[in-house]
Amino acid sequence: DTGVSQNPRHKITKRGQNVTFRCDPISEHNRLYWYRQTLGQGPEFLTYFQNEAQLEKSRLLSDRFSAERPKGSFSTLEIQRTEQGDSAMYLCASSLGTGRGGYTFGSGTRLTVV
């Protein structure tokens, strides 16, 4: 297992377009998290899954954002009708159980909305 994998690494899109990011967690990890990070800030929680169930969503996750983890393995995060304010690094992490012992993060997908 090579850790948490995120694709694409970079995405440039025009305002109003839809984008989708993928995260492949560590295979034995049952929890998967999405965070957003802007320059100079710490990661901000968006949502997380336990297996295929989405257990919590942040208020940051507007109606334009949707996340899925259909088979309890990989996850996708879709942003519809992108806005310039969506430009950020989108980080995925996974953990075994509640994450006591830490989350393992991927390298992120950097989104630029022009």
Residues found near another protein in the complex (CB under 8 A)? 4, 33, 35, 40-45, 48, 55-56, 91, 93, 98-108
Q: Shortest distance, CB of residue 43 to another protein, whole angstroms?
A: 5
Closest residue by Cα to residue 81 from 22, 19, 3, 34:
19
Q: How far, in Å, are 13, 15, 26, 108, 114 from residue 84 at the CA level? A: 10, 7, 31, 18, 6
φ, ψ for residue 84, nearest 5 deg: -60, -30
Q: Shortest distance, CB of residue 13 to another protein, whole angstroms?
A: 20
Q: Shortest distance, CB of residue 29 to another protein, whole angstroms?
A: 13
Of 68 and 105, which has the nearer Cβ to another protein? 105
